[in-house]
């Protein structure tokens, strides 16, 4: 069963994991995911990775269980491209609101380390955490989180004032 590496963030729970089915038990992983009841699931794998792992039904499964699914593909060991950045500018606010409302957010990539760690760290910083503290907390639950210097640079490149909307917007 795919392990969810979770920690509290902004009033909710943020988790990173390998792609459901990575260990060969897609049905078991999907059942585990349904039991965990995420508000949002963010898939960072490419279409080719979904196909290679036979996990193409993840999006419909997530939607059928009342959660929001977002596909933001990033190549393995890579960082977000311009298309990702354009979507992220709006999407991150919705994810932070879900966390602030006590929601659960799952971010996954192929192995549950680099790409998912990079995005989780970014969310933690956008929620107002200091980068070094956030990275230490994240690596306490998933030591391999954020695998490359480029991933770390992307994650910490955001201004930490993004969390202001949580206090000033309805």
Structure tokens at 65: 């269980």
Structure tokens at 140: 């306490």
- Find the helix or strand (DSSP H, E) in which 54 lies: none
The reported pLDDT for the residue numbered 165 is 43
The reported pLDDT for the residue numbered 159 is 64
Over residues 131-145, the mean pLDDT reads: 97
The reported pLDDT for the residue numbered 51 is 84
135 CB burial (10 A radius; 0-12, 13-18, 19+): buried
In degrees, rounded to 5, the angle at the alpha carbon of residue 17 between the alpha carbons of residues 159 and 161 is 10
Lowest mean pLDDT among 26-30, 68-72, 146-150: 26-30
Phi, psi of 140 (to 5 degrees): -70, -30
Task: Give Cα separations from 55 to 59, 90, 106 (angstroms).
Answer: 9, 26, 16
Q: What is the mean pLDDT of the chain?
A: 91
- Is residue 144's pLDDT more than 50? yes
Structure tokens at 50: 């979904």
Query: How confident is the model over 78-127, as pLDDT tens digits?
Result: 999 999 999 998 999 999 999 999 999 999 999 999 999 999 999 999 99
Q: pLDDT band for 163, please (50, 70, 90 cuts).
A: very low
Nearest to 29 by CA among 6, 62, 67: 62
- Is residue 12's pLDDT more than 90? yes
Over residues 1-9, the mean pLDDT reads: 94
Query: How confident is the model over 47-90, as pLDDT tens digits?
Result: 999 888 888 788 899 999 999 999 999 999 999 999 999 999 89
The reported pLDDT for the residue numbered 80 is 96
Where are the domains positioned within the chain? 5-168
For the segment(s) 5-168, the CATH number from 3.20.20.80, 3.30.390.10, 2.50.20.10, 3.90.190.10 is: 3.90.190.10
- Give the residue, 101 or 160, on which the prediction is more confident: 101
* Measured distance CA(153)–CA(63) in Å, rounded: 32
- With beta carbons less than 8 A apart as the criterion, state whether 97 and 132 touch: no
Percent of the chain residues topping a pLDDT of 70:
93
């Amino acid at each position: 069963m795919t392990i969810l590496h979770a920690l509290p963030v902004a009033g909710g729970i943020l988790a990173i994991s390998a792609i459901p089915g990575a260990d060969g038990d897609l049905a078991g992983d999907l059942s585990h995911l349904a039991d965990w009841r995420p508000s949002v699931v963010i898939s960072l794998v490419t279409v080719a990775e979904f196909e290679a792992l036979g996990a193409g039904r993840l999006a419909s499964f997530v939607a059928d269980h009342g959660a929001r699914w977002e596909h933001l593909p990033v190549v393995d060991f890579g960082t977000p491209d311009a298309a990702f950045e354009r979507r992220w500018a709006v999407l991150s606010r919705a994810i932070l609101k879900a966390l602030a409302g006590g929601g659960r957010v799952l971010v996954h990539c192929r192995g549950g380390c680099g790409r998912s760690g990079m995005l989780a760290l970014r969310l933690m910083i956008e929620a107002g955490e200091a980068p070094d503290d956030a990275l230490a907390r994240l690596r306490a639950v998933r030591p391999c989180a954020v695998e490359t210097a480029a991933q770390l640079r992307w994650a910490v490149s955001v201004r930490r004032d993004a969390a202001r909307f949580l206090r000033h917007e309805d």
